[in-house]
Amino acid sequence: MSREAEQKRVNEVIKEITKKEEKLYTKGSGLKDTIINLRENFWDDVTVNLEELDDIIETQASIKQQAELLIEREQVHGNIDKELKKLKRLKDSPYFGRIDFREKPDDEPEYIYIGTASMMDQEQENFLIYDWRAPISSLYYDYAPGSAQYKTVDDTITGEITLKRQFIIRDGKIKSVFDTGLTIGDQLLQEALGDNASTSMKSIVATIQKEQNKIIRNERSNLLIVQGVAGSGKTSAVLQRIAYLLYRFRNELNAANLLLFSPNPLFSSYIANVLPELGEENISQSTFYDFLKNRISNDITIESPFAQMEYTLTATNRPEFGARLANMTYKSSLEYKSLLDQYIEDLGHEGIHFRNITLHQETLISKEQISEYFYSIDKEISLPNRMESVARWLLQTLRKVQQEEKNKDWIIEKVELLDKDDYLEAYHALQRDDGDETVQEEDFLRKEVVKRQFAPIKKRIKRYAFVNILASYRELFRTWEPLERPDDWEEIRSLTAASLSKKLLTWEEAAPYLYFKERLLGASNDRSVRHLFIDEAQDYSAFQFAFIRHLFPYTRMTLLGDVNQAIYAYSADENPLIPDSLEQNHERIILNKSYRSTKQIVEFTQKFAPHNTSIEPFERDGDKPQVIKPAYNSNITETLIKDIKQLRQKGHETIALICKTAKESSELFQTLKDKVSIREITEQTYTFEKGLLILPVYLAKGIEFDAVIIPDASQENYGQESDRGLFYTACTRAMHDLHVVTPGKPCKFVNEAKQETFEITNI
């Protein structure tokens, strides 16, 4: 089929789309009027009669019927709106691929056009477009012309691909069309990758590679591990995986059943458009920090992972720094989990701290009574079940106390403070009592006051607030003597006790503390989460992984990351992305090809990648990275401003100055803000915008920029071996241009790069 014939087909498909749109607009408009009318006349169409019990039941049924009618109409209208959005997307670019497939040698090949969503003809008989997630569409991603097969729900279909064709269609016009082999063609990728960086991640369904397709369509593994080099498309692939799972299991899964842990709030904003682009709802997203924070008491402060990182980079001269590093290493390990399990086991026999149950500063049930009752329960029963028994006992005991309190003098003072509505309610209650003179107004009001006074106490008991988790945890570092301890235990003990006394949890302490709380009170895990996705998994500690598995024991997980970008103190060689022994039914997929950066940037950075990983660059040419040495006596600020100007002249819309620390970033921002239009990215930044940005490297995780400037790549700034992951991560954020400014001696990582992979420039 010629290009003209292909364009003719595009035109015909767009006509079909237009017809479908017109029908839906007509139907939707009528429905909208119906919904408005139902809302405006809701109570006019409901029979309301509350005189007799039968009348009340009839009224409730009438309200329910009218509400269900309204909900049904609104759902249909919502589906129409969703379908219209899908058609709008297809109208611009109906499809991106075509395969001709025949099952038997004598058959005529079937033309299969693949796009972001399925669409049938007016008769609903033939597919004009197949959804990229449909089983047959996997042929496009996995095979070159020749023998091929795909799996359906029930069978495996074999046959032959006689043609594989790709399109670039914009505004309904074919810009490019070309036939290709196995790999999704370089021409399509060149266009996708040659553009400027966007403020949001885009769908990659038109350019999914075979290895990425394995990630997307994996249905077998309980644990899918994706080790992908910087720019390999692992995050994009996992977002398409989410869309695939929602499509493939649409009768079993919805967006509420999936959860994504992202590295920072800015990244959450950056990827927010991908699933809606594919016609799916966004799933729940959270940083692991927010996840922990929402489950730990509000009166406890938690250090963020970024604050921890800033501390390790800027506090090396503090006297407690060595002890803090030891604390980070130990509290991030499975060794500490074993010690914590030992302590929890001991608490089953003695040592849990409880709180008094009080009312108006008077103790109703003492913590000693609670402790005595708790430890009288059979030790073979689990701690959470024993806590549940204590809560029931407390509520029963409180009911007796409540009866006693009702007759005390302080109650009458509270009765006098009630408003007139309370007295009116008491009057009606007495009227409904059919003249029973034993029920007096004062007695009714006393009961009401006591009930209100005791309600918050009962609520706290149901939340197990009678257990002093913090005090119980603190005893681990005050009086408890472990059987085995690390060499630095006394320093760790002293440092932790000091933090806990201030109600402060360091980042390395947060997951262990919540694990401790869950072991005592029972897990608060959400059983509705069927799939968990963890991005930048290399930055999670061994303890954090174990805790996540404790919280989600039956949840399928997809972990993605890059050991080369492990930047936290505990993510060292002994803690790779994920140990092989963690899960039996797991699969590991390696992505070694980098698509983000130009070939020249990849060749420069791969020589100082932390793990000597073999990185294959995509064949997209650009300028060599520049190592900029400020001219003699030149002001570094002037150098940066000149460099920014040059990059803007090249047409770059998003330029990032990536600093090692937030301290460096903030100081440089203050210097530059009056000289150039610049935006500072901090831990509290939730939206990604184009322009000139300045940020610390650990907030740049997962994001890409047209050009990156590293303002201080000197040996003084990046002089430690532990800085390797930071420097590599900063450099690999660049898509088109990378400029490394070296006031003073360049850092050793620059010197490790091959001389021919970069240019030295004086500005």
The pLDDT, as a whole number, for residue 437 is 45
**Which pLDDT belongs to residue 576?**
45
* CB 620, CB 190: distance < 8 Å: yes
Amino acid at 236: S
Residue 350's nearest CA partner among 463, 462, 480, 478 is: 480
173: enclosing H helix or E strand:
strand 173-179
Give every CB contact of residue 514 below 8 A, 6+ residues apart in sequence. Answer: 292, 295, 296, 547
Which residues, in sequence order, are CB contacts of 31 under 8 Å at separation 6+? 73, 76, 77, 80
Q: Are strands 97-102 and 119-120 parallel, antiparallel or unpaired?
A: unpaired
Segment 483-509 shows an average pLDDT of: 94
Mean pLDDT of 584-613: 89
- Those residues with Cβ within 8 angstroms of residue 616's Cβ, 6 or more apart along the chain or in another chain: 592, 593, 594
Please tell me the chain's helix, strand, coil percentages from 3-state DSSP, rounded to the nearest 5: 50, 15, 35
Looking at residue 484, its pLDDT comes to 87
Per-position b or e across 564-577, b if 16+ CB within 10 A of its CB: bbbbbbbbeeebbb
| 32: confidence class by pLDDT, cuts 50, 70, 90 | low
Q: Report the pLDDT value the prediction gives residue 271, as an integer from 0 to 100.
A: 83
- Report d(CA 471, CA 354) in Å as an integer: 9
Q: Which pLDDT value is given to residue 136?
A: 95
pLDDT value of position 228: 92
**Looking at residue 624, what is its pLDDT?**
96
Q: Give the Å distances, CA to CA, from 524 to 324, 509, 622.
A: 30, 19, 51
Indicate whether 421 pLDDT > 70. no
DSSP code string of 661-695 = SHHHHHHHHHHHTTTS--EE--TT-----SEEEEE
pLDDT band, very low/low/confident/very high, at 375 (cuts 50, 70, 90): very high
**pLDDT at 296 (0 to 100):** 93
Is the model more confident about 54 or about 688? Answer: 688
Average pLDDT over residues 738-749: 94
Taking alpha carbons only, the member of 629, 648, 660, 637 closest to residue 705 is 648
Over residues 476-486, the mean pLDDT reads 91
Q: Where do runs of H (alpha helix) occur along 41-137?
A: 53-92
Label each residue of 510-579 as H, E or C.
HHHHHHHHHHHHCCCCCCCCCEEEECCHHHCCHHHHHHHHHHCCCCEEEEEECHHHCCCCCCCCCCCCCC
Check pLDDT > 60 for residue 583: no
Point out the least confidently predicted range of 21-30, 348-357, 369-378, 386-395.
21-30
- Which of 9, 333, 322 lies closest to 173 in space, CA to CA? 9
512: its two tokens: 């262990």
Average pLDDT of the residues of the chain: 86
Segment among 111-120, 230-239, 612-621 with least mean pLDDT: 612-621
Share of the chain above pLDDT 90, in %: 59
pTM of the model: 0.85
When mean pLDDT is compared over 31-35, 177-181, 222-226, 573-577, the highest value belongs to 222-226
- Dump pLDDT digits (tens) for 135-158: 999 999 899 899 999 998 889 999
CA distances from 603 to 31, 566, 721, 722 (A): 59, 20, 20, 22
Tokens linked to 107: 């058959």
- pLDDT attached to residue 558: 95
Q: Is the pLDDT of residue 223 over 80?
A: yes
pLDDT of residue 43: 60
Tokens of 220: 């077998």
Average pLDDT over every residue of 519-546: 89
Question: Per the annotation, does 28 bind a ligand?
Answer: no
- Out of 54-63, 109-118, 717-726, pick the least confident: 54-63
Least confident of 118-122, 187-191, 346-350, 511-515: 187-191
Q: Known binder of ligand: residue 572?
A: no
Is the per-residue pLDDT at 732 higher than 70? Answer: yes
pLDDT at residue 438, as a whole number: 43
Q: Is 181 within any annotated ligand binding site? A: no
Long-range contacts of 516-520 (CB under 8 A, 24+ apart): 516/340, 516/344, 516/469, 516/472, 516/473, 517/295, 517/296, 517/469, 517/473, 518/550, 518/551, 519/341, 519/344, 519/383, 519/384, 520/344, 520/347, 520/352, 520/383, 520/384, 520/387, 520/467, 520/469, 520/472
* Whether the predicted pLDDT of 8 surpasses 70: yes
Question: Tell me, what's the pLDDT at 525?
Answer: 67
Residue 353 confidence (pLDDT) above 80:
yes
Token digits for 343?
């302590």
Distance between terminal CA atoms of the chain?
Answer: 55
232 labelled binding-site residue? yes
Token couple for 62 = 């009438």
pLDDT (tens digit per residue) in 286-313:
999 999 999 998 899 999 999 999 999 9
8 A C-beta contact, residue 13 and residue 94 = yes
- The torsion angle over the Cα atoms of residues 179, 183, 185 and 191, rounded to 10 degrees, is 160
CB of 472 within 8 A of CB of 412? no
Torsion of CA 467, 471, 472, 473, to 10 degrees: 120
CA 285, 288, 292, 293 torsion-angle sign: negative
Structure tokens at 726: 């930071």
Judge whether residue 701 has pLDDT over 70: yes
Cα–Cα distance measured from residue 562 to residue 576, given in angstroms and rounded to the nearest whole number: 9
Which tokens belong to 719? 């002089």
At residue 700, does pLDDT exceed 50? yes
Q: How confident is the model at residue 677 (pLDDT cuts 50, 70, 90)?
A: very high
- Model confidence band, residue 56 (pLDDT cutoffs 50, 70, 90): low
pLDDT beyond 70 at 748: yes
Q: Is 228 assigned a ligand-binding role in the annotation? A: yes
Confidence label for 441 from pLDDT (cuts 50, 70 and 90): low
Tell me, what's the pLDDT at 483?
85
pLDDT of residue 724: 94
What are residue 761's DSSP bridge partners? Answer: 628
Q: Tell me: pLDDT of 267 over 60.
A: yes
- Stated as kind and residue range, the H or E segment containing 224 is strand 223-228
Q: How confident is the model at residue 492 (pLDDT cuts 50, 70, 90)?
A: very high
Furthest-apart CA atoms within the chain: distance in Å: 101
DSSP category for residue 272: T
CA–CA separation, 681 vs 420, rounded Å?
55
Give the whole-angstrom CA distance, residue 656 versus residue 172.
35
Using CA atoms, how far apart are residues 326 and 321, in angstroms rounded to an integer?
9
Helices (H) and strands (E) in the chain, counts: 26, 26
pLDDT over threshold 70, residue 31 = no
229 annotated to bind ligand: yes
% of the chain at pLDDT higher than 70? 84
